[in-house]
Amino acid sequence: MDIELLKTFLTVARLKSFTLAAKELQMTQPALSKRIKRLESMVDSQLFDRVGNHVIVTEAGQLLQQQAPQIISDIDDTVQSIRDLSGKVSGELHIGTSHYIGLHLLPQYLEQYVDTFEQVDINVEFIDSELAYERVLSGDLELALLTFPQQKDPRLQHQLIWREKLAIVCHQDYPLAYEANPLSKLNDYTCILPPGHTFPRELFELQLEQAGIELGKVKTANYLEVIAKLVACKMGWTLLPARLLTPPLINLSGDEFLSDRDMGIIYRANKTLSNASQELVKLLHDH
């Protein structure tokens, strides 16, 4: 079965639109429709019901939608395993990384990797840790670099690479900074945190709870860099890694930081990594 047909099908099923899928895949809609018709002919079943400008996945399509990611993953793994038999480090390497790791921690390793393994076509996708976790589990990504969740899935290997200290911070002229005991007054001031149900948010809430800190009003923003900018505008206080603690931000927790934040590599426990992935993992551990 043509793997591109399956990828096209999954894109249409995810977006529920031929138009949007064609735009994302950078192809014409007639060409996309032709691919779907070819796939439907191969499986002898209709995969989509057309309803106006939207499509609905049929029962047969739902079954294929469940199985297709594993089929694609198995084919990709087989092709890469054959390539790896030569011992060469080559082929495609598709990894996911959280925005924070991708901006602040990965570049120094990535440059060395690219210089060393010129035959590897590496694709780095910036995505939220939660989505990266799901995509590694589904086989869509071979490995990812992210903040570890509180509850680790046993189907994944978790290799610690970075451990960072977190601090409670605010603007040096924010009213909270003038409190005699600011840590006891935190619930009187707005806190800015990552969105709910994200790995960083769960970690931050747990650490604040363990420190006996109650939250008052909470605002949310994506990405720690954005949160740091908002706090620098005197919009509230937050938790930040020490590397983002720059003027005019100040550390309210003094020399006592909250617990560490663990970040690192995840990949499926039942999968042998490609040569390209193994070299990246080795590089990260060596440094």
Residues 150-170 pLDDT 10s: 999 999 999 999 999 999 999
| 126 and 236 Cβ atoms separated by less than 8 Å | no
Domain 3-80 carries which CATH code?
1.10.10.10
Protein fold of 164-259:
D-Maltodextrin-Binding Protein; domain 2 (3.40.190)
- pLDDT above 90: residue 140: no
Distance CA 158, CA 148 (A): 8
Over residues 121-136, the mean pLDDT reads 92
Domain ranges of the chain: 3-80, 89-161+263-286, 164-259
Domains 89-161+263-286 and 164-259 share a fold: yes
Residues 113-127 pLDDT 10s: 999 999 999 999 999
Using CA atoms, how far residue 206 sits from 23, 102, 210, 261, in Å, is 41, 24, 6, 11
Domain 89-161+263-286 carries which CATH code?
3.40.190.10
Q: What pLDDT does 73 receive?
A: 74
- 102 phi and psi angles, rounded to 5 deg: -65, -30
Q: CA torsion sign, 215 to 219 to 221 to 227?
A: negative
Over residues 29-44, the mean pLDDT reads 94
| pTM for this prediction | 0.73
Q: What pLDDT does 259 receive?
A: 77
| 153 and 273 Cβ atoms separated by less than 8 Å | no
Residues 68-85 pLDDT 10s: 888 887 777 777 677 667
Name the more confident of 175 and 3: 175
Distance CA 7, CA 15 (A): 12
Residues 98-107 pLDDT 10s: 999 999 999 9
Distance CA 161, CA 72 (A): 29
The percentage of the chain sitting over the pLDDT mark of 70, rounded to a whole number, equals 98
Q: What pLDDT does 41 receive?
A: 94
Over residues 187-212, the mean pLDDT reads 94
